[in-house]
Amino acid sequence: MTQTFPAEVQSVLDGVRDLLPTFRERADETERLRVVPDASVKELEETGFFRLFQPRRFDGLEADPLAFYTAVRDIASADGSTGWIASVVGVHPWQVALFSDEAQQAVWGADTRVRLSSSYAPTGKAVQAEGGFMLSGKWSFSSGCDHCSWVLLGGLVFNTEGQVVDFRTFMVPRDKYQIVDVWNTVGLRGTGSNDIVVEETFIPEEFTLSMGETGQCKGPGQAINTSDLYKLPFHSIFTSTIATPIIGMARGAYAEHVEMQQKRVRAAYIGEKASLDPFSAVRIARASSEIDAAWALVMSNLREEQAHVARGEQIPLELRLRVRRDQVLGTARAIEAIDTLFEASGGRALAEGTYLQRVWRDAHAGRVHAANDPERALQMYGAQQFGHKIEPGMY
């Protein structure tokens, strides 16, 4: 999919591509530290990457989603953990743009370089209070939180009688939460996806978003951030943010495998050159098709949603469910391609420090994210095709 972007956006993509060899070289350090190095985040910041989804009135670029996801894909092709936190942290300006102007000013008014992490699993608790909510609890898997000074937390809202009345996103400043270092994993080790703990603290109404309203592609920030970018569905933008790094990892695995096979001599097959093995060629062809299909489907669905928004139309439920269908299947296709390539790469791919074993671990770690739950997404799409009512959910 070829796309021409404005010069200021293309400059970001070019800057990101220049950094890829550096991110590749730092992959071992990233795993060892269990967090993306500060230098990598700073270099991404200097390219303007974190401004792609940021409103123009806060020095952002309000870029085409395809530009953002292209940059993420490329970063993840060099290192999975760096691509993952770039995607997750980089998408948050899009959501902040939906908050009240008061909240946006609190985040970016003094420094437009401010970044946010998140955790949306509703494991914490919010209770209604005058003018806002009392928030408390523990949230897990806040990727890139060490590089951020705010966090977005999903939480169930209870009234004073203890009944659930809403599900909201709460914007919390760094002095109101603790980061607990718990991230010891076999994959995506460098994402620093640690726990966030909030002791009971008051969050003003203006620093929250109802997910019911967000699900309708609405938010108070749209009154001042009028770009069509901010009228797209939350779950289309955010679940694509989870799928894209895995597709990027698959592209990196493909390039690495092809290079390895061109040099590899197979001792078990009497010194046969792997590049002359017809079965190896078939595996490469199949893997490349799966990767290309995953990317094309995810991006073409977003393009179709953008077309509806540009015409001032409501995005059909069927299309929103199709986005979820192809997002989870795109993730599955990318991982299937990685598995095929890894299995065909020989014993040397197992060595510590090699790219393929790391990308295999990172991709399977990303696969277990809630956004990649295939049965739930596919069931919603199939049920809608049968005419069944679809309850509000991740679409």
pLDDT digits over 58-111, tens only?
999 999 999 999 999 999 999 999 999 999 999 999 999 999 999 999 999 999
3 state DSSP class of 155: strand
Measured between alpha carbons, how far is 127 from 246 in angstroms, rounded to an integer? Answer: 37
Phi-psi label, residue 144: left if phi above 0, alpha if psi -120 to 50, beta otherwise: left
Q: Tell me the CA end-to-end span of the chain in Å, nearest whole number.
A: 25
Could you identify the residue written with the tokens 């990303």?
A: 366
CB atoms within 10 A of CB 57: 14
Report the candidate in 247, 213, 209 with the shortest Cα–Cα distance to residue 233: 213
Q: What confidence score (pLDDT) does residue 268 get?
A: 46
CA distances, 147 to each of 44, 106, 108, 142, 285 (Å):
12, 18, 15, 11, 39
- Sign, Cα dihedral of 33, 113, 327, 299: negative
Tell me whether residue 2 is exposed, middle or buried, using C-beta atoms within 10 angstroms of its C-beta: 0 to 12, 13 to 18, 19 or more. Answer: exposed
Q: Give residue-wise pLDDT tens across range 281-319.
A: 888 999 999 999 999 999 999 999 999 999 999 999 999
Structure tokens that stand for 322 in this block: 């199709």
β-strand partners of 195: 180
H-type helices in the chain, by residue range? 7-25, 27-33, 38-47, 65-78, 80-96, 101-108, 211-215, 234-263, 278-310, 317-343, 355-367, 374-385
Low-confidence ranges of the chain (pLDDT < 70): 1-2, 263-272, 274-278, 392-394
Q: What confidence score (pLDDT) does residue 326 get?
A: 96
CB atoms within 10 A of CB 134: 14
Measured between alpha carbons, how far is 190 from 183 in angstroms, rounded to an integer? Answer: 9
